[in-house]
């Protein structure tokens, strides 16, 4: 089989990837939508790929394939799905460099970060899904009743551009493990990783119709999937505003909806923490992935009497971030994903200045020498108050807002006073004290003393950060329904 991503044509002196086919019912097919979209490299504004934008007819074809495949795939044995995930892991492992380069070219993550984090996060989710599947017992006896966990059905998956493989795999892998069929709409801004992933699934022998891929935008393909009467579940990752639209569209037939949305996470630095180490680490953490992570801890909360010290360390940390060509091995921060995102980040930085926050590093405009592309200066504000826009809105860029608190109660109150509740952090030399503060934070996740993300633990948030959970056992359970078969066991 000849895969579309390998068909390249010259544009001037460079190659462009032709991705103008969809993967439906086990084969690459011509879309019915006619509009072509250029995919740009945010580091240099050059076209790196072209896709076709699907329409409602494309959605109908893909959903029909998933519906037809569900009866057989939902009845496959646990052992068959284990073997399938093992083959997917093998195929994914053979394409690591292809996936890393596609990630960097399309959304701007530094190549080292793409290799070590972006791509490996995806592989990790598949391995976790395999591990969970091996341990899962789909039946439970309760007296004379058998309780059965079974696949929810046909799933629509709508994924973003900021962690493309992470978000695709943490939906697709547990859905396959559960026995679901699916239609994926990846971000039209960064689609090539999804196309390569489709090739991996094809080579692994995923049965026809189990996995389908349709490119398109949210208002057309995303909306058509969300409201489709034969879709049993929508799993969406993206902005809170888009998540609300998905929920409204899905409400027409009360399908199950799982939403992983925005965040404005607070990082509480207690007075006994090692400020020289922790402030530097916290600022650099926000700059990771150019601040384009929903769980980035962008509100840095410090004691009032440690503000001057914090400013000095944060300024030096931000100014030491090496920003530049994401294909260079020594680059720490690449561009934001698009000119539209660049403009949004610039507008919010300017709002911070206009509303009276103290700019201590970075600011508006492009870094010197990086005027081409979508590069943003690593930016830090101090004197930020809870009512300011930069404290309320998810900037999704490399911007840290330093806020002060009077005592622990005040810190927790500031952290919790928000529409979001996705993630957070606490630093303290006293683990018991850190745990006590973490327990009071109204958020779905808390990283204590810089603990890394755990792919086996549930990922998700409170309030307008979403509903449902991804990752690990909790993520797999999202793709299941529970059935009680009463009287299935003879009375003793």
Going through 46-171 in order, the beta strands assigned E by DSSP cover 46-52, 139-142, 145-151, 154-158
Q: Report the distance separating Cα 391 and Cα 266, nearest Å.
A: 10
Distances 455 to 32, 143, 217, 460, 472 between C-alpha atoms, Å:
38, 35, 29, 12, 6
**Six-digit token pair at 186?**
């990846």
Catalytic site residues? 260
Task: Tell me how many degrees the CA angle 256-150-225 measures, rounded to the nearest 5.
Answer: 35
Helix %, strand %, coil % of the chain (to 5) = 40, 20, 35
Helix and strand element counts for the chain (H, E):
16, 24
Q: Report the distance separating Cα 248 and Cα 255, nearest Å.
A: 11
Going through 169-255 in order, the beta strands assigned E by DSSP cover 181-185, 211-213, 233-237
Q: Report the distance separating Cα 396 and Cα 377, nearest Å.
A: 13
Strand partners, 235: 157, 258
With 0-12 / 13-18 / 19 or more C-beta atoms within 10 angstroms meaning exposed / middle / buried, residue 239 is: middle
Q: Report the distance separating Cα 104 and Cα 396, nearest Å.
A: 17
Q: Report the distance separating Cα 72 and Cα 489, nearest Å.
A: 26
Tokens 């850190």 map to which residue? 434
């Amino acid at each position: 089989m000849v895969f579309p991503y390998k068909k390249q044509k010259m544009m001037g002196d460079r190659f462009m990837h032709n991705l103008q086919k969809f993967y439906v019912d086990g084969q690459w097919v011509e879309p019915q939508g006619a509009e072509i979209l250029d995919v740009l490299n945010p580091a240099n504004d050059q076209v790196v790929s072209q896709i076709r934008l699907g329409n409602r007819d494309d959605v109908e074809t893909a959903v029909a394939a998933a519906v037809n495949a569900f009866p057989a795939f939902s009845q496959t044995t646990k052992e068959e799905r284990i073997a399938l995930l093992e083959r997917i892991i093998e195929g994914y492992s053979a394409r690591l460099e292809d996936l890393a380069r596609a990630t960097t070219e399309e959304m701007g993550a530094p190549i080292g970060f793409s290799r070590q984090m972006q791509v490996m996060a995806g592989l990790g989710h598949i391995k976790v899904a395999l591990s969970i599947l091996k341990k899962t017992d789909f039946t439970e006896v309760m007296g004379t009743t058998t309780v059965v966990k079974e696949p929810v059905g046909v799933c629509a998956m709508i994924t973003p551009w900021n962690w493309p493989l992470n978000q695709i795999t943490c939906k697709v892998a547990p859905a396959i493990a559960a026995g679901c069929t699916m239609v994926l709409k990846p971000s039209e801004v960064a689609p090539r990783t999804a196309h390569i992933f489709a090739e991996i699934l094809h080579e692994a022998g995923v049965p026809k119709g189990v996995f389908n891929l349709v490119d398109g935008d949210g208002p057309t393909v995303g909306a058509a999937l969300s409201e489709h009467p034969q879709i049993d579940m929508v799993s969406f990752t993206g902005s809170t505003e888009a998540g609300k639209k998905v929920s409204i569209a899905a409400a027409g037939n009360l399908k199950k909806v799982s939403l992983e949305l925005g965040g404005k996470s607070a990082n509480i630095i207690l007075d006994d923490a090692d400020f020289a180490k922790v402030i530097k680490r916290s600022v650099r953490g926000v700059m990771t992935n150019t601040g384009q992570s929903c769980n980035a801890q962008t509100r840095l909360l410090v004691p009032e009497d440690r503000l001057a010290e914090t400013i000095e360390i944060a300024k030096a940390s931000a100014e030491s971030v090496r920003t530049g060509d994401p294909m260079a091995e020594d680059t720490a921060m690449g561009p934001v994903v698009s000119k539209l995102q660049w403009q949004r980040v610039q507008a919010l930085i300017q709002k911070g200045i206009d509303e009276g926050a103290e700019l201590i590093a970075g600011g508006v405009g492009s870094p010197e020498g990086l005027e081409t592309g979508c590069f943003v200066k690593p930016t830090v504000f101090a004197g930020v108050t809870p009512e300011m826009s930069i404290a309320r809105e998810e900037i999704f860029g490399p911007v840290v807002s330093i806020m002060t608190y009077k005592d622990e109660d005040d810190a927790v109150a500031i952290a919790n006073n928000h529409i979001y509740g996705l993630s957070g952090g606490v630093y303290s030399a006293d683990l018991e004290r850190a745990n006590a503060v973490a327990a009071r934070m109204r958020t779905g996740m808390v990283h204590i003393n810089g603990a890394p993300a755990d792919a086996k633990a549930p990922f998700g948030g409170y309030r307008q950060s979403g509903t449902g959970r991804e990752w690990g056992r909790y993520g797999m359970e999202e793709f299941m329904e529970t059935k009680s078969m009463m009287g299935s066991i003879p009375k003793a």
